[in-house]
Structures are given as C-alpha cells and as structure tokens.
Amino acid sequence: MKALVIGAQGQLGRALQATAPMDAETIAPAESACNLTNGAHIERWLAEVRPDVLFNAAAYTAVDAAESDVATAELVNSVSVGRLAESARLHGARLVHVSTDFVFDGETNSPYAPDDKPNPLSVYGRTKREGELAALHASSETLIVRTAWVYAEQGKNFVQTMLRLMRERDEVKVVSDQIGTPTYARNLALALWSLAGQSATGVYHFTDAGVASWYDFAQAIQEEALAVGLLQRACAIVPIATKDFPTPAIRPRFSVLDKSKAWATLGCPGPHWRQALRAMLGRMTPNG
C-alpha cells in the first residue's frame, strides 16, 4: 500500500507515520509543500505519488477561534476537503478523512452511532460535517472516521496543557459535566491503517474504550504522571460546571461515540482510555 499523508506534522499525522505497516510506503510532505487548502499542491503530489490511500489528518481544530474566523474554518474543514476528495477520486486514491464528535449536539445519553443524525452546535462542528458530506459525495470509496478528544506525546492537546498547568499552579479548574472519551493518537492511527487496509468505506467511529469527563481525564493525567515521574508534586484539581467556564463555541454535553461497527471490522475493541494514557505518558519518560 502506498499512502500520502496530508497534515503530516500534526499529532495524528506523526502517529500515522510511526505506526505504518511494514509493507506500506508512506509519503508525508511538510505543510509548506502540501497544504490542504492549496489545490495545486494536492494535484501535484497526487500526480507524482499515485497513492493507493490518501489520509487527511489536517483540519482547523481551533474550536473557539472558528466562531469568529468562520471563513478559514469553512475553507479548511469543508471546501478544501471536498476538493481533496474529488482530486483523490480522479487520481484513483481512496480518501480516509478524519472527523469529529462535534458533529453531534450531545443532547442524548447514549453513545452516538455512525448513522445517527448530526446536529452540530458550533462553527467547527458545522464545517466538519460539511466536509464529511462533500467527501462522501465526491466518491463512494471515501472513508470517514469520527473520533474525539485526541492527544499525543507532542502538539497542542489536553494532556500537554494539563501537564504544564499542573507544574505551574497549585490548583487547576476543569469542567466536569462534559462527557466523552479520550483517544490516544497512536491508537487512532493504527485503526485508520487497519480500516484502510480492509478497504472500508462510509462512516465509522473510533475512540479508545470507556467514558470520562474532562475532570476525570485531568485526575487520571495527574495520577499517571506522578507515577512515572513526569510530575513531582500533586496540585488540587477542582471540578467546575460548563456554565462557570464560558467559551465562544458551545461544546456537546455528551459526545461518547458508538464504536461497535469499527471494532467489529478491526476484530477487537480499542484499549481503555486509561490504559492508553498510561502507555503514552510512559513513552514520554526518559526510558519510555
């Protein structure tokens, strides 16, 4: 399998490169050479590489900034994804596009299945849903994988933010009434490779297993980081309500995804998020 990775320098793009199967040839150009919003870049790379699979790991993920930067969010998350899908079809590549739990409104109390009706609450969620529709319209070979709460050893993510704040402060406040599932980028990347290798199409959901609030996640980060020496002392973690931490974008209250379809295709469930967090933090230690 020959694969071209868009967004190669992001946390998922790096994970896709690190987890590539032995028989895969992975081409991962820098953003400056292959920008999602630059149609000429995309056409040139597709024509030169002739990949079997095109992974789109690029997105506008600044959820709050998107509320005031609507044009950029639309360009990156919807318009450019539609163009990418069409180019992939014309060059004989299967597009694997990563989407988000934010396409749902979070008003249910049961995990969202891939065919549940989206109802995004934010510009970010809306533009990601528009990107899904554009990609699916362009080709019946498109694979959409929705995920949530992704983190990795590097990059801007909740784990890295919490580790920094816990080192700097005696107390951190974390929202306790938003529920979802943390997802280690490495596990997501492994799932994407497997689904692509099985020529899966349509919409799938993948996160790690289990359920947590952001407060639960923060507590686990501190406990696991203390255990491996990434933190030298504990700080107080104070649960707060969403209403006490207003943000420009509305977040879904409950965004747990039903992974049964993906897990059946993959042949096994994903690891529990706490187990995955422990493994990731272990890799961040000097001997990890």
Taking alpha carbons only, the member of 288, 91, 98, 76 closest to residue 185 is 98
Give the span between the Cα atoms of 210 and 115, in whole angstroms.
21
Cross-strand partners of 146: 99, 205
* Helix pair 273-284, 185-197: axis angle to 10 deg: 110
Q: What is the DSSP string of 253-272?
A: SB--B--HHHHHHHTSPPPB
Kindly state the DSSP code that residue 285 receives in the 8-state scheme: S
Residues in CB range of 233: below 8 A, 6 or more apart: none
Residues 6 or more apart whose CB falls under 8 angstroms from that of 189 comprise 12, 15, 16, 18, 19
Whether 215 is a known active-site residue: answer: no
CA angle 35, 43, 127 (to 5 degrees): 50
User: Residue 154 gets which letter from DSSP?
Assistant: S
Catalytic residue among 124, 184, 204, 215: 124
| Distance, CA of 164 to CA of 59 (rounded, Å) | 24
Active site members: 124
